Amino acid sequence: MSLHLRRTSPEGEEGYPGTVQVEVTYTLSVAELRLQYRAQTDRPTVLNLTNHTYWNLAGGGRDVLDHRLQVQASRFTPTGPTLIPTGEVQPVAGTPFDLRQPQRLGDVLAHPHEQLTFAGGLDHNFVLDQPGTGQAVATLHDPHSGRRLEVQTTQPGLQVYSGNFLDGTITGRGGQRYGHRWAVCLETQHFPNSPNQPHFPSTRLNPGEPFASQTIYRFSVQD
């Protein structure tokens, strides 16, 4: 089952040059959600497409602090107090950002690291070690339900956001209110602030050079 969406962003929208044609296809199978993005422009512009889905593998009634998160990234891009990446690329080793082995989210978020203080939790871009190889770049597991989510992508970065500003004002299905730490986002994308950091992977899109990317969310059960 697939859903194909198209949108035209006109010249000058939100200050961006060029008319950009954007397409995204969502394909849902028994245990997989596949997102395929395409875009083209008639003038040089910048483009960074992602998906801001919130995940809670408990299925409701519980926050995500007991979820185990693993991200295959040896480096991350720290931010300043305004949460904009500074341009540095730092190793995760010896920091709470070392998620190369599964870590309980509650333990990570309790760490008194300056970067976590800036964001009120995780809201950071991880520099993926092996994107586009067909290998999982991240896994999320809820030990209570057994549900496991695996992420694959062709994008170079993964923005992890730990629901820092969820405050119970949003109501979902069944009247469920989404409170603090009620979900986590795993956003595959290029690095934030790339247009101002020439050593980051480029987000420039030129005429005649179509953009294409793919992200796969795969679901399973783990004891």
Sheet holding 147-153, edge to edge: 2-9, 20-28, 32-41, 211-221, 147-153, 138-141, 68-71, 103-104
Q: Is 187 marked active-site?
A: yes
Q: Which of 69, 157, 166, 80 is nearest to 115 (CA)?
A: 80
Residue tagged active-site, from 67, 141, 150, 187: 187
Pick the catalytic residue: 4, 52, 111, 144?
52
| Closest of 32, 19, 24 to residue 216, by C-alpha | 32
Active-site residues, by number, are: 52, 187
